[in-house]
Amino acid sequence: MENQNQEIIPMPRIGDKAPSFKAVTTQGEINFPADYSGSWVILFSHPADFTPVCTSEFMTFAHMEQKFNEANCKLVGLSVDGLYSHIAWLRTIKEKIEYRGMKDIEVKFPLIEDITMDVAKKYGMMMPGESNTKAVRAVFFVDPKGIIRAIIYYPLSLGRNFDELYRALVAMQAADAFSIATPADWRPGDEVIVPTAGSCGVAKERMENQKDIKCYDWFFCTKAISKEEVEKAVLKK
């Protein structure tokens, strides 16, 4: 029988303002998302320190941090472990762990202490079907205005694909910059999708005059945006 007294906290949704909180981290106290105004942020949770899947993930994120920073994106991690556990774990990663050619990896982005689980609960990171004491592998993309733009959840057993997290970030930024959508498996340099025609006249004109766009049918049209154009709009170089 379900516990009817169990607290129910609604999970944030895409388009919502990112729930605000103050927290102690391995890089000092943060005020989220206010401290990150003007930047994209990936807020991600992991189940526990000193666990192998989480170790591989943190090493990968730290290895790619500069790449995310160049795309105007900051990284913020979270688990329900304490600050001293975080510090000891990150020190172990730097001093002892070599994985897939990565070694001497220093995690410089903040890792939130969330022993009370307040932040994890506020963001719906606790999934009773997985664990009552560990946060699942949640990923929240928050834009420069503090709005949640994408949410991805993984079970405890599944390590994340960090190339996909980066691809999703760049795709959302490209969509904002060029007022387009991106098709399946899109990468910078691939064709993008033009917004669907809003009237019969526009649809007819597109089908008859395909100069800058390519239409497969009236509702499905693409156009070319070069990799260089996307990088100019997205990357800080």
Q: What is the pLDDT of residue 209?
A: 67
pLDDT more than 90, % of the chain: 70
Q: What is the pLDDT of residue 125?
A: 85
**How far is Cα 173 from Cα 186, in angstroms, rounded to an integer?**
13
**Residues 60-71: pLDDT tens digits?**
999 999 999 999
> Residue ranges per domain, the chain?
21-161, 179-234
Q: What is the pLDDT of residue 208?
A: 61
Q: What is the pLDDT of residue 2?
A: 45
When computed from its CA atoms, the radius of gyration of the chain, rounded to whole angstroms, is 21
Q: Which residues contact 169 (CB under 8 A, 6 or more apart)?
A: 40, 42, 68, 71, 73, 141
User: Which residue's structure tokens are 């103050």?
Assistant: 22
The CA-based angle 39-40-42, given to 5 degrees, is 135
Domain at 179-234: CATH architecture: 2-Layer Sandwich (3.30)
Task: Identify whether the C-beta of residue 123 lies closer than 8 Å to the C-beta of residue 79.
Answer: no
CATH tag for 21-161 (out of 3.30.420.10, 3.40.30.10, 3.90.1150.170, 3.40.1350.10): 3.40.30.10
**Residues 116-173: pLDDT tens digits?**
889 988 998 877 776 665 777 899 999 999 999 999 999 888 999 999 999 999 999 9
Look at residues 122, 121, 155 and name the one whose alpha carbon lies nearest to residue 138. Answer: 155
Task: Identify whether the C-beta of residue 171 lies closer than 8 Å to the C-beta of residue 234.
Answer: no
Q: Binding site: what residues are annotated?
A: 137
**How far is Cα 32 from Cα 24, in angstroms, rounded to an integer?**
11
Helix ranges (H only) for 97-179 are: 118-122, 162-178
pLDDT at 201 over 60: no
- Positions marked catalytic: 54
**Residues 20-75: pLDDT tens digits?**
999 999 999 999 999 999 999 999 999 889 999 999 999 999 999 999 999 999 99
**How far is Cα 86 from Cα 25, in angstroms, rounded to an integer?**
9
Q: What is the pLDDT of residue 1?
A: 41
**Residues 82-111: pLDDT tens digits?**
999 999 999 999 999 999 999 999 999 999
pLDDT at 219 over 50: yes
pLDDT at 6 over 60: no
